[in-house]
Structure 1
C-alpha cells in the first residue's frame, strides 16, 4: 500500500482501464479462513488490521465500503443450488487481503463489496466448483476477485533478492501458467504432486486457493490471460490472471 512498484501501478491502471466500474465486487480473501463457506452481509465494513510491525500509516487507513444484501442472498442461493453449504456473516470487516487490493483499485470505496471466505481443507476440485457456482454473477457486471498469492513462502524470503525472483519460484509460476493457459484442470487439481517446487511455493494452501476459485468462475469460456507478473523479495509472486 505504501510502496510504488510495478504491481501497485498495475492495479491502479487496470481499474482505470476498464470500460466502466463494476456494479459490485465479490472477493475471496486468503485471510478469511472458515470451515464453512461464509458470505458477508455487512451493511458498512470496518477495516481489519490483521498484521503487525508495519508503519503507523497503514493502521490509519480505512476502506468503508458498503455491502449488498441482495447480492449476498443471491450468492447463497447459487451455493445452495450447487450443493455448497454456506452461512451468512453480518459482522466481519474487510481484512488486508481485501481492502489493500480494493483501495489501490477503487480508492473511493464507492462500489458495493461482498466478501467471501476460503476453506483450506477442501479439495482443489471443490475449490474450483465453488467458483464455478458463481459464474452467472459475471453477466451482471459483478467483478469477482480471488485475492491471494501463487508463490507465497514467507519463511524463504530473500531479503537481498529485491525484485529478482529465485529460480524455483519462477519454475513453479511457469508450470502454473502453462496449465492455466491450457485449462488443464487435471494437472492443476494435482499440482501438489506434479508441479516443480510445489512445497516451496505453496507451504500452506490458503493463498493459492483464490486462484482456483477465480478460475472456476470462468468455466464457461475457459480462457485464461496473464495480465501481470512481478516479484518481491525473491519468493513472493505478484500476479494477476483474468479468466473469461
Structure 2
C-alpha cells in the first residue's frame, strides 16, 4: 500500500532551489512504492464544492506575480486520469460529499512545484482536487478518509499546502527560524504523532500561535486531508522540517 503525504510547497521558487528540503523531495520517490496514480489536494484551488479534475493533459497555471522570468517558462506535462476521477466522485458520493468534475482547469503551482521535484519526468498520472475553506477540520479529515481505499489500489494521496503560512509575518532577511512558528509546529508534531484528532480539529483555539500560523486555513487543510486518507493505519512520520524567511514552514509528513 502506498502512503499518503503532506508536502509543504513553500514559495513558487522552491522548484528551482537547491537546499536540504528540495534534496529530500527529489529523493523521496526512490524511498516510496511507485504509485500508479497520484491524487493531489492543492491549497491553491479553492472551491465551495469538492472539485475533481478530469483532463487528458494539464495546461500550466502560473498563479503568481513578480517572480523571475524563468518561472513562467517551466512546463510540467502532467497527464490526468479520467477513470480515477470518476472513481473519486463515486467514493465521495458514498461518503455524503458532493463533488463536481472539472474537465478544463490546468495545474497550479501548489501541485506542479511538488510534483516536479518528486517526479520530474511526469511519469505518474495526476488527479488534482480542490479544497473548501468553509468546511470544519473534521469534515476535511473525513473527505480524506473517504479516499483511503484508493491507497490499496496503488494511488498516492498528497496534500500540498503549508503548516505555518503567514505571508505577513515573513522576515525576508532572516536565516533563523522564528520561535513562534517552531512552537506551533512542535505542538502540531506532538498531536500528529499521537494521532490526536480531537486536538487537531481544535487547533485554532488549542495550539500556541494557532491564529498567527494559520491566518487562513486553505494551506492547512491539505494536512488534514492527507491524514484522513491514512485513518486506517494512523502512523505518522515527519520526514523533514525547516523554515524559510523565519517562519515559512517547509515540512513533509508521511502517513500510513
TM-score grouping bracket, smaller chain normalisation? over 0.9
Tell me the SS of whatever aligns to 2:16: coil
Greater RCO between the two (CA within 8 Å, min separation 6)? 2
Tell me the SS of whatever aligns to 1:193: helix
Report what 1:161 is aligned to.
174
Cα distance, 1:17 vs structure 2: 2.3
Out of 7, 10, 13, the residue aligned to residue 27 of structure 2 is 13
Matching of residue 239 in structure 1 with residue 251 in structure 2: yes
Equivalent residues in 2 for 1:6-155, closer than 5 Å? 6-19=20-33, 21-155=34-168
Report what 1:209 is aligned to.
221
Cα distance, 1:89 vs structure 2: 0.2
Report what 2:16 is aligned to.
2
Q: How many residues are treated as equivalent by the alignment? A: 242
Q: Which runs of 4+ in 1 moved over 2 A?
A: 16-19
Q: How far apart in 2 are the matches of 1:66 and 1:190? A: 37
TM-align CA RMSD:
0.7
Out of 178, 181, 186, the residue aligned to residue 174 of structure 1 is 186
1:98-144 CA deviation, whole Å, 9 max, x = no partner? 00110011111121000000000000000000000000000011111
1:60-91 CA deviation, whole Å, 9 max, x = no partner? 00111111111101100000000000000000
Q: How far apart in 2 are the matches of 1:18 and 1:83? A: 31
Which structure 1 residue ranges, 5 or more long, are not aligned?
A: none
Q: How far apart in 2 are the matches of 1:180 and 1:70? A: 33
Q: How far apart in 2 are the matches of 1:18 and 1:81? A: 29
Per the normalisation by structure 2, the TM-score is 0.93
Report what 2:205 is aligned to.
193
